Structure 1
């Protein structure tokens, strides 16, 4: 990422959001809580709520910065709405980590459903979106996961924990692939150094 000194904040955020390492950082922020949830599925609801809350907050911040990498300002609104949704949901999870599994399920289900719909809209509206099919598939997966969680909010904590952990791991791996594809595209365009 190269930004001249004295640049305005939007230019700094734009350069940061276009960086493949920023995408990789977002992938790691998604993957790590997923692995933790799968490794310790019998932990208390308190730990699960804190992990999910932190994931939502960090992802919201990553998405906020990524919005500024978009050239078309019309594409920014869905991204901004999504980042605000993630941050608010993260605050809700962290504000009352002892809430019931049903409340946590509803928060996560709504975030996934809205996230999937907004990502689907962006993928369909942005004609020159790289890896459009991959983004569409991830959006549809988010919509389905949101519907499943919202349809079954009172299922056992163990089932929800496994579903959340598995979804976060799959999403994190998808984001790693996307980050590496972005790095390859930047190298082909001569915009980054090899190695």
Structure 2
């Protein structure tokens, strides 16, 4: 069977028909949280730093456990060092989220700067090819975001991460909502 011109596997169709309400709920929640993050980006930035801190702390614990499967003492020590750095950075982000937000914002600005330059270069090399213009536009926008974040640093730490997380949550919510509506159509036998 097809949906919107695309052929869907029967298992995927059944899954969408079963879970469209949950997907719709999660999508709407993501959009609401994204809007809140855009309206109060400083809080979202600090929340993101704390969230990343917890992720690193948990990952560090797994890295410590995995280190003991190392084939040699040298490898064990390197793995334990990597785990310790991961745990320390995680704790630092949890305990000092504002300072962590500064660091994350600086890294984010550099990322967008280099991502923009890279995409512009790829678009220039592939000019005349399909979608090269879109890649170039994406690069220009990334470059502008990187310049804006770095030019306004450190004050950009108050809004940059929260704003970008908010935008990402809105896009993710919109995508989930669209998928949920397709699942609703499938469940009601309209597709």
TM-score, normalised to structure 1, is 0.40
Greater share of residues in helix? 2
Larger-Rg structure:
2
TM-score, normalised to structure 2, is 0.41
